[in-house]
Amino acid sequence: MPIANGFLTEDEFENEFFYNLAVGYCYDCEMVQLAELVPPEKLFTDKYPFFTSSSRNMIKHFAEMAEWIAIDLTPGAIKRPLVVELGCNDGTLLTELRAYPEIRTLGIEPSTNVAEIAIINGHNVVTEFFTEGTAQGIVEEYGQADVIVATNTMCHIPDLHEVFKGFQVLLKPDGYIVFEDPYWYAITAQTSFDQIYDEHVYYFTVKAVDDLASKYCFELVDVLPQAVHGGAMRYVLGFNKQHRPTSRFRYMHWMETKMDWDNKVNGDTFYQAAIYQGLDLAMSLVNMVRKDGKRVVGYGATSKSTTILNAAGIAPNILPYIYDTTPQKQGKFTPGTHIPIRPYKEFKDDDPDYVLLLIWNHAEEVLAKEQEYIAKGGKFLTHVPYVRIMDTS
Q: How many CB atoms lie within 10 A of CB 104?
A: 16
Is residue 344 a contact point for ligand TYD (CB under 6 A)?
Answer: yes
The whole-angstrom separation of Cα 211 and Cα 215 is 7
Q: Does 383 bind ligand TYD (CB under 6 A)?
A: no
Q: Is 334 an interacting residue with respect to ligand TYD (CB under 6 A)?
A: no
43 binds ligand TYD (CB under 6 A): no
What is the DSSP annotation of 112-129?
A: HHHHHHHHHTT--EE-S-
Nearer to ligand TYD, 134 or 192 (CB): 192
> Does position 181 bind ligand TYD by CB under 6 A?
no
| 301 near ligand TYD, judged by CB under 6 A | yes
> What's the full length of the chain, in residues?
393
Q: Does 304 bind ligand TYD (CB under 6 A)?
A: yes
The SS3 of residue 151 is strand
Stretch that binds ligand TYD, among 79-87, 89-97, 241-249, 301-309 (CB under 6 A): 301-309
Q: Among residue numbers 183 through 212, which ones bind ligand TYD (CB under 6 A)?
A: none
- By CB under 6 A, tell whether 50 contacts ligand TYD: yes
Between the CA of residue 18 and those of 7, 14, 40, 332, what are the distances in Å?
13, 11, 14, 18
357 within 8 A of 366, measured Cβ to Cβ: yes
CA dist list (Å): 159 to 130, 164, 393: 10, 9, 47
Residue 50 or 202: which CB sits closer to ligand TYD? 50
Part in contact with ligand TYD (CB under 6 A); list of ranges 16-24, 89-97, 160-168, 356-364:
356-364
Q: Where are the alpha helices (DSSP H) in the chain?
A: 40-43, 56-68, 92-97, 112-120, 132-142, 160-170, 184-189, 206-214, 247-263, 268-286, 303-312, 363-369, 371-375
Which range binds ligand TYD by CB under 6 A, 77-85, 136-144, 255-263, 359-367?
A: 359-367
Size of the site for ligand TYD (CB under 6 A): 19
Based on the shown chain and the rule CB under 6 A, indicate whether residue 171 belongs to the binding site for ligand TYD.
no
Examine residue 362 and tell whether it contacts ligand TYD (CB under 6 A): yes
Query: Which range in 25-33, 95-103, 284-292, 300-308 contacts ligand TYD by CB under 6 A?
Result: 300-308
325 is a site residue for ligand TYD (CB under 6 A): yes
User: How far apart, in whole angstroms, are the C-alpha atoms of residue 50 and residue 328?
Assistant: 9
Residue span binding ligand TYD (CB under 6 A) among the ranges 111-119, 171-179, 232-240, 296-304? 296-304
339 interacts with ligand TYD by CB under 6 A: no
Residue 153 is a binding residue for ligand TYD (CB under 6 A): no
The single-letter DSSP state of residue 245 is: P
Cβ neighbours of 174 (radius 10 Å): 11
Is residue 183 exposed (0-12), middle (13-18) or buried (19+ Cβ within 10 Å)?
buried
Taking the complex as a whole, the smallest distance from the CB of residue 5 to ligand TYD amounts, in Å, to: 7
User: Which among 161-169, 322-330, 332-340, 374-382 is the span making contact with ligand TYD, rule CB under 6 A?
Assistant: 322-330
Supply the minimum distance, in Å, between the C-beta of residue 22 and ligand TYD: 20
**CA–CA separation, 78 vs 146, rounded Å?**
9
Taking the complex as a whole, how short is the minimal distance between the CB of residue 230 and ligand TYD, in angstroms? 8
Q: How far apart are CA 202 and CA 159, in angstroms?
A: 11
Q: Which residues contribute to the site for ligand TYD (CB under 6 A)?
A: 50, 54-55, 300-304, 324-326, 329, 344, 359, 361-362, 365-366, 369
